[in-house]
Chains A and B, each alone.
Chain A
């Protein structure tokens, strides 16, 4: 149980284009979903927290107009990287929580984004 999928697993896009990443909880309903970013040899950094049907809460330093998050249902959240730049190249990982509790986050397999 507690499976989270992400799509795509890998994407290459050109500078200036937008990329959408999907995160789905496959066998549970996620009250809360989280988006993280991980640069090489760095820790996972929380970008934003989203609750179904409400606006996402962004962490300090994360541009909400650049990283658009939609959590339209209890099993799906999307992250859209708008006007991507090479410095946005990173590993983006989502997690989903049925309860919102700290120990109960299930991670997706991640999406490796490369912006050329």
Chain B
């Protein structure tokens, strides 16, 4: 099983719709979780951290389910500018809190 797995998509979603992605991770001892966004041929940028109790930032909501070892990202009222690849990122090693593992990403296309 890969350390971090995501559905590669693409998800083609009409503007204004709600879309959700999941990501599973293999190491139950993983400590920290993040969603990054990567635009085509650009560097990844931190979108949000994922906290145990779930957290929201505007139209974006992140959830963590430790029992099932997955995290999710929900985007409400999607905008054209949300089109990007969303990367699930996990810090799997409690002995190395600087190391993060990236998933392959889920591609999202928002359709006008």
Contacts and interface: CB of A to CB of B under 8 A. Distances in A.
Interface string A100-116: 11110101111010000
Contact of A110 (B43, B91, B99, B103): B43
Contacts of B99: 46, 49, 102
Contacts of B76: none
A42 B104 CA distance: 5
Interface string A80-115: 000000000001010001001111010111101000
Nearest to B30: A102
Contact of A103 (B41, B46, B103, B105): B46
A51 B99 CA distance: 13
A101 B44 contact: no
A102 B43 contact: no
B21 interface: no
**Size band of the interface chain B makes with A:** 20 to 34
Interface string A41-57: 11111100100000000
A4 B20 CA distance: 31
A32 interface: yes
B23 to A, nearest CB: 11
Given A91-B41, A102-B100, A103-B46, 11 more contacts: A41-B8, A41-B104, A43-B4, A43-B105, A46-B99, A46-B101, A102-B32, A102-B99, A103-B34, A103-B49, A112-B41
Interface of B: 4, 8, 31-32, 34, 41-46, 49, 87, 91, 97-105
